[in-house]
């Protein structure tokens, strides 16, 4: 099977498996797991933040990130296709007691100008804004990337109004690779960042939240409350350390493969995609012109050993990662062409 559904399908490398087997562990709820402690310190160091917190999933990391900056009854400003709004089971409402104030955008990328107009003060009729959330790279924006300057403008604007900014940086290392700016510079003004070890970086499990020490002391309690106190989690953190230290360097290969796939898709009958718009490892393309729906094409591709998910009736999504090669991408597009006829 050539699996282009998501970069979450990556399996741990031999080096990760060895590190997992050899990991020195302890009870992380007592903060006695040296490998988890090391991972949290290294994540904080790499992002230039005071502290880090190892969490089982990106969803839990965002849940904690939103909760530690807000109080019940506030609004969180995000773009309309944000992962936190559409793919996390309404957790902003469920755990933080907040509503999302969604701003429509072309490709998921907000600007301070768009955000500023939606900020609400305390009033007898409207909920006050509690937090700004930005997603970098943007999943449903086809892996689009925030220009570093736009992040800084959003943070400066938010901070001048006493508001904080959380970054859903599930793929922030892809963003960093695309703009050629290290993550500590890219996120210098952001108050907290969640990023995934388990996607393009290849770890089997795990995400991180980095930010201020006092925020994350509170965040650690939220993690326990959410059921994320994982005891001898060093076996997972050991793989996470390799993901963090060694895997970002190769993400440009995934980006080149995504660009290649986008170019081949652009030459495919009935498919619409602008290859120039592809910046990272996600390629969302329009299949309306094929006369088939996304789910129909997806089912037919599966019979040919290719896994590509539909986003909706009219579009599909390819995600490149280190378990698929250039040749795999080539075969996948050939299979799609066969299916389309
Ligand atoms: C994958 C992802 C997450 C978190 O996903 P988990 O499956 O919970 O680890 C959060 N935000 C974005 C943009 C994602 O793509």
Report CA-CA distances (Å) from 157 to 76, 165, 168, 177, 223: 15, 10, 19, 26, 30
Instruction: Express each pLDDT in 57-99 by its tens digit.
Output: 999 999 999 999 999 999 999 999 999 999 999 999 999 999 9
Per-residue pLDDT band for 121 (boundaries 50, 70, 90) equals confident
pLDDT one-digit tens code per residue, 240-257: 999 999 999 999 999 999
How many Cα atoms within 13 Å fall on the side-chain side of residue 326? 8
Mutational test site, ligand 1, from 5, 10, 58, 280, max ligand atoms within 8 Å of CB = 58
**34-47 vs 234-246: helix axis angle to the nearest 10?**
30
Asked if pLDDT for residue 122 goes beyond 90, the answer is no
Q: What is the mean pLDDT of residues 170-199?
A: 98
Contact (CB, 8 A) for 174 and 137: yes
Q: Is 201 helix (H, G, I), strand (E, B) or coil?
A: coil
Question: Mapping DSSP to helix (H, G, I), strand (E, B) and coil, where does residue 1 land?
Answer: coil
pLDDT in tens, 212-239: 999 999 999 999 999 999 999 999 999 9
Ligand 1 probe mutation, 171, 196, 281, most atoms within 8 A of CB: 196
pLDDT of residue 41: 98
C-alpha distances out from residue 27 to 35, 119, 233, Å = 11, 43, 8
* High-pLDDT (> 70) share of the chain, %: 100
Give me 84's structure tokens. 């936190």
Q: What is the pLDDT of residues 289-332, one digit of tens each?
A: 999 999 999 999 999 999 999 999 999 999 999 999 999 999 99
Cα 157 to middle of ligand 1, angstroms = 26
Cα Rg for the chain, rounded, in angstroms?
A: 20
Residue 214 burial (C-beta neighbours within 10 Å; 0-12, 13-18, 19+): exposed
C-alpha of residue 58 to centroid of ligand 1, in Å = 5
Residue found under tokens 């959330």: 133
118 vs 120: CA distance, rounded Å: 6
Q: Which residue's CA lies nearest to atom 9 of ligand 1?
A: 58
The SS3 of residue 294 is: helix
Residue 132: its pLDDT value, please?
Answer: 98
Q: From the CA of 209, how far away is ligand 1's center (Å)?
A: 13
Mean pLDDT across the chain: 97
* pTM score: 0.97
Kindly list the protein residues whose Cβ atom lies closer than 6 A to any atom of ligand 1.
57-59, 62, 83, 135, 139, 168, 170, 196, 198, 207
14 CA distance to ligand 1 middle (Å):
24
- Up-side HSE of residue 181: CA atoms within 13 Å toward CB? 14
Structure tokens, 165: 């900014």
């Amino acid at each position: 099977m050539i699996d282009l559904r998501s970069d979450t399908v990556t399996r741990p490398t031999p080096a990760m498996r060895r590190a997992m087997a050899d990991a020195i562990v302890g009870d992380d709820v007592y903060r006695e797991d040296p490998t988890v402690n090391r991972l949290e310190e290294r994540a904080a160091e790499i992002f230039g933040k005071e502290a880090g917190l190892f969490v089982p999933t990106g969803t839990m990391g965002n849940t904690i990130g939103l909760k530690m900056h807000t109080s019940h009854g506030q609004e969180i400003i995000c773009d309309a296709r944000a992962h936190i709004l559409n793919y996390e089971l309404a957790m902003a409402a469920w755990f933080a007691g907040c509503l999302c104030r969604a701003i429509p955008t072309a490709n998921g990328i907000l600007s301070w100008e768009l955000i500023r107009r939606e900020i609400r003060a305390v009033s007898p009729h409207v909920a006050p804004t509690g937090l700004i959330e930005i997603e970098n790279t943007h999943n449903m924006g086809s892996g689009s990337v925030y220009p570093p300057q736009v992040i800084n403008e959003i943070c400066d604007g938010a901070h001048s109004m006493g508001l904080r900014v959380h970054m859903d940086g599930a793929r922030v290392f892809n963003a960093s690779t695309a703009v050629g700016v290290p993550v500590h510079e890219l996120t210098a003004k952001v108050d907290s960042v969640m990023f995934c070890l388990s996607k393009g970086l290849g770890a089997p499990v795990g995400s991180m939240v980095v930010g201020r020490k006092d925020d994350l002391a509170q965040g650690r309690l939220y993690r326990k409350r959410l059921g994320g106190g994982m005891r001898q989690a060093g076996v997972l953190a050991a793989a996470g350390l390799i993901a963090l230290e060694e895997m970002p360097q190769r993400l440009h290969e995934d980006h080149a493969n995504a660009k290649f796939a986008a170019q081949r898709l652009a030459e495919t009958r009935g498919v619409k995609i602008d290859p120039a718009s592809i910046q990272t490892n996600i390629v969302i393309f329009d299949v309306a012109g094929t006369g088939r729906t996304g789910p129909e094409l997806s089912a037919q591709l599966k019979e040919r050993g290719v896994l590509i998910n539909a986003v909706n009736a009219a579009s599909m999504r390819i995600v490149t990662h280190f378990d698929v090669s250039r040749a795999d991408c080539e075969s996948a597009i050939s299979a799609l062409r066969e299916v389309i006829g």
